[in-house]
Copies of this chain bind each other. A is one copy, B any other.
Amino acid sequence: MANLKQLAHSLGLSITTVSRALDGYSDVSAATRARVREAAEAAGYRPNASARRLRKQRAELVAVTLPSDPGHVGPPHFLDMLSGCAEHLAAAGLNLVIAPVPRGVSELEICQRFVDGRRVDAMLLVRTKRKDERVEYLQSRGIPFVTNGRTESLIPHPFIDGDGFAGFRAATLRFHAAGHRRIGHIAGPQEYYFAHVRRRGWQAAMEECGLAADLCAEGAPLEQGGYLAALELLRQPSRPTALVCATDEMAIGALRALREVDGGNQISIVGHDDLPMGAFTSPPLSTMRMTGENLGASFASLLLRAIAGEPAEELQELHAIEFVDRDSHRRPPLAA
């Protein structure tokens, strides 16, 4: 309710002293400081955020772009990540704002709108593309940012990502070791870095094993996309006996295709993301997940360090992928 002026007046002190007392400066006597703190508490004083931001030339805001277009920005646990990130940013006095990207507007334009209006101190970018114009723009403007997922940008930038290449390579090699020879891949849209790198992991493993990497179908990173892609692979003259899917949602879509086509218990399948839902599918879905606790906190930490000016090279986290074995990857490699 109160502002600094009223508080100062009621205490018989100057605005300066009250302000500095509350901020803990040493040029205020301990007695005064205590008195001020008490009065501020009693009056329920909270500094006016706009005034502080204006004076300090900081927005105290970090924006995350959220495409509203495809009806889906990321895996369902994405919101938990955002929430965790916002929580840790809040501890540093920063708030997380949603920068929605309306249909027909590019993500780049939204970035510009926030950055040029000095509305944010930093940005969080999700669903990076291999060649991501947002990254290029932010780099050119020198705005701190962190991406969820790498890009092919030549200039290094802060990111957190899972080692999709290694994960998908390992998953494919594991199927090979179990006797599978026709191992298919259900890929996400290849302009996304995560989708591309997962596909390359599968492909590399196939080539290492001397197998043709030809059983690959691409779809939207949703259940429906996985369903259609699986149907396509199952129509091949020589069906896959195992499927490595870019995401759990695609894998769950593929599971339905398997049920429809072969009863659902012939072909091995593995996804990625460790959706809670995966434990409840039929059969329970084997999957992979990025290691590391509390992703949101990591993003917040990187953002703060980027704002503090740490060089990009020190703000890159590549996490290992681990398997979450349930049931769906255990089908024997029978010819269909």
Residues of A at the B interface (CB closer than 8 Å) are 1, 44, 46-51, 53-54, 59, 61, 66-68, 71-73, 76, 78-80, 82-84, 86-87, 90, 95-102, 113, 116-119, 222-224, 227, 249, 252-253, 255-256, 259, 264, 276-277, 279-282, 296
Contacts of A256 in B (CB 8 A): 279-280, 282
Q: Is the CB of A117 within 8 A of B47?
A: yes
Q: Which residues of B contact A281 (CB under 8 A)?
A: 281-282
CB-nearest residue of chain B relative to A276? B223
Given contacts A66-B86, A227-B280, A252-B280, 19 further A-B contacts (CB under 8 A): A1-B116, A46-B113, A48-B54, A49-B117, A50-B50, A54-B54, A66-B83, A76-B76, A83-B98, A83-B100, A87-B100, A90-B100, A95-B98, A222-B276, A223-B277, A252-B277, A264-B282, A281-B281, A282-B282
Interfacial chain B residues near A79, Cβ < 8 Å: 66, 73, 78-79
Q: How far is the CA of A227 from the CA of B284 in the complex (A)?
A: 13
Known A223-B276, A264-B282: A87·B71 in contact at CB below 8 Å? no
Q: What chain B residues lie within 8 Å of A84 (beta carbons)?
A: 68, 100
> What are the residues of chain B within 8 A of A76 when measuring CB–CB?
76
